[in-house]
Amino acid sequence: MNDFGLLFAYGYINGEAVPVASAGIGVLYLVFLTGMVMTACRVLFGLAAYYDANAKLNPDAVMWGLLIGFLGLIPGIIYLCVRNSSRSFTVCPNCGLRHYFYDMNCPRCGAPNHAPAQYNNPMAAQQEHRAKVLLIVALVLIGVVILASAVFAVGMTTRIIYH
């Protein structure tokens, strides 16, 4: 090997030894491209969670978006488990008891339960659609990275075998 290690090898052009790019440049390029795409996927997953939480009127939409964007899979799984859990509860305006919104009256004070206005989100359909589009784009990007890695690995293997 020369001073350039895996980055360059010597090839012969017109009888002269000249440094030519080897597999190392391709590996560095693939690692850089994979890192950029995976960062973009994290951002897209965070935005998808944010828009989904907004559609569900979750008061912690920003928190979920940031957690999933920065920490990834584990907060994403937790969000999927709890995303619909608070929709079936309401708070009594008279006594403050949290109870099921389909109860006719508050179990503590007996005040009539009105349909909660907070669950009427006119933007819910748009936000859910935006979340789905962002999620699909992120999954397609991950698929492209996996496919490019497989093609690169096959190319490198055949290059090593036949050269």
Secondary element (H or E) of residue 32 = helix 23-55
Please give the Cα distance from 101 to 156 (Å, whole number). Answer: 61
Return the pLDDT at 111: 85
Instruction: Specify the amino acid at residue 135.
Output: L
DSSP-derived letter for residue 104 is S
Tokens coding 92: 């009594």
CA dihedral sign, ordered 136, 88, 68, 76? negative
Please give the Cα distance from 134 to 54 (Å, whole number). Answer: 14
Beta strands in 6-115 (DSSP E): 8-13, 16-21, 89-91, 98-100
Q: Please, what is the end-to-end C-alpha distance for the chain in angstroms?
A: 16
Instruction: Specify the amino acid at residue 76.
Output: G
Tokens coding 156: 């490198």
Please give the Cα distance from 67 to 29 (Å, whole number). Answer: 29
User: What is the residue-level pLDDT of the chain in tens, covering all 163 positions?
Assistant: 444 444 445 555 566 655 555 556 667 777 888 888 889 889 999 999 998 888 777 778 899 999 999 998 888 888 888 887 655 666 677 887 767 777 788 888 888 877 655 555 567 778 888 888 888 988 898 898 888 888 887 877 776 666 5
